[in-house]
Structure 1
Amino acid sequence: MRWTKIGFEIPSSYIHQNKSFIVCFWHGRLMMMPYAWAHAQKRPFHMLISGHRDGKLISKVISYCGIKTIEGSSTHEGSVALKQMVRILKNKGTVGITPDGPKGPCYKVKMGIVMASYLTQSDILPATFSVSSSKILRSWDRFLWAFPSKKGILIWGEPISAPKNKDPETFEKVRLCVENELLRLKNFADKSMENSS
């Protein structure tokens, strides 16, 4: 497959500066995202995955890509998973989150990623992919199943700065920024592949 890669200088810059960051992408775009990380850098990567049966299956699959998992949810401030994420990020690591997972609603960012960003002052880097031959499954996350394709696109979007204050208005503003950027990237990627067919 011939990949078009956009924005890969963004994570590279953070890594070069030894800065932690949070990678985020829609749950339905999980299939090829380990490939995007492999293209970006060899830096250790931890992915937040639910403890449910499908989450355990995903954990096993991505382990073959060298990606470690954090089991649980970032929704609650005192959760074990959130504490693990904070520890990794404060040690200049990288954590991946599907902010509409594990059960949706689809394309709606939850506050967990904003809380993790605030607690560690780590910026959020949105990402996505699309391919020229695919099918949208009838799942809650509208999972994009990628068939063997001639072309694909991997995109890193604009970084979203960590909130400096914990007030609800600031958190909601950041949450909306993440949601809007992820939607923009998804739409751009899909349109690019439609036009390339």
Structure 2
Amino acid sequence: MNMLRWIGRDPVWQERIARLIAAWMGLLHRTVRMEFDAHPETRRIMTGDEGVVAGFWHGRLLFMPLLWRGVVQEAGMDPATPCYTLSSPHRDGAIMARTLRLLGLKPIIGSSGHGGTEAFREIRRVLTAGGRIGLSVDGGKGPRQRIQSGILLLAKHSGCPLVPVTGSCRWGIQAGSWDRMLIPAPWTKGILMLGAPIQVPKNADRDELARLQQQYEDAMNLLMDEADRRCGRIPTPPSARRPPQRTGIGERPAPHRPAE
């Protein structure tokens, strides 16, 4: 176990692991056959020049480079158009950030505990400039398929539409990890889906944000369930809820109150 931790922290091994994952993704890009299904309003947004926030569940992370390729092709965009995403500064996040760079995506480094404020500002800057960003909305540790509130604040402050996205496949391996990550197999058939956008008003109060968060979470789970069923898979249920212990990206932690 200590050896694995050392390998995960070593930059040379991080690069080797990232290249191995990127090579696997490259094989998928060349061999999989994916149907592309986008809501009409989302399709219109994607062909425009406004910023877009696309949320996905962590368990479908490996479908996101395939989905971005589909967006670029469907919208007739320049293949070099970047898509941004958020990566954790921790060990696994560092490996994924290297992998994403190799795949042509641009990671922004930050998490709720480390660099969150700086990451939030950078994401807002990207969106203001008309960029697209994909975020794992159940974070890097879960609970699975439960939205952390930071993405609602991001959509509120940026004024950009919030789009649910997902992917599924007929042949693949579903890991036993917390997120039940689905790993597509080469030569599989599958589907990439973009649901209807949600707009978060700039004057939304706490109650309105809570309502929109539940609406978006339900839309995310329904979209993934539909993608799984269309691929002949049993849908993955979300984890039980747990009280939030940390604030999300863009939130300020509550002030410390000394014990009386």
Cα distance change of structure 1 residues 17 and 27 upon mapping to structure 2, 3 Å threshold: same
Per the alignment, residue 38 of structure 1 pairs with 69
Percent of pairs identical after alignment? 31
For normalisation by structure 1, the TM-score amounts to 0.91
Partner residue of 1:98? 136
Gaps of 5+ in 2: 1-31, 73-78, 234-260
2:174 alignment partner, one of 125, 136, 143: 136
User: 2:132 & 2:188 partners in 1: Cα distance?
Assistant: 31
In structure 1, the residue matched to 2:109 is 71
- Distance apart, 1:147 and its partner CA: 1.7
Quick check: which has more Rg, 1 or 2? 2
Cα distance in structure 2, aligned partners of 1:15 and 1:192: 24
Kept after mapping to 1: 8 A contact 2:169/2:231: yes
Q: Which amino acid aligns with 1:57?
A: I
Counterpart position of 1:168: 206
**Is contact 1:163-1:174 (8 Å) kept?**
no
Q: How does 1:1-12 map to 2 (within 5 A)?
A: 1-7=32-38, 10-12=41-43
Residue 120 (structure 1) shift: 0.5
TM-score, normalised via structure 2 length: 0.70
1:110 equivalent among 148, 153, 168: 148
The answer to whether residue 186 in structure 2 is matched with residue 186 in structure 1 is: no
Q: How big is the shift at 1:18?
A: 1.1
For the 8 Å contact 2:172–2:184, the answer to whether it is kept is yes
Q: CA RMSD in A?
A: 2.1
- Give structure 1 stretches of 5+ with no counterpart: none
Q: Which amino acid aligns with 1:130?
A: S
- Kindly tell me the number of residue pairs found equivalent between the two proteins: 195
C-alpha distance in 1, partners of 2:229/2:47? 32
Q: Is the contact made by 1:75 and 1:112 (CA closer than 8 Å) also made in structure 2?
A: no
Tell me the secondary structure at the aligned position of residue 100 of structure 2: helix
Deviation at 1:162, TM superposition (A): 2.1
Quote the Cα distance in structure 2 between the aligned partners of 1:125 and 1:74: 21
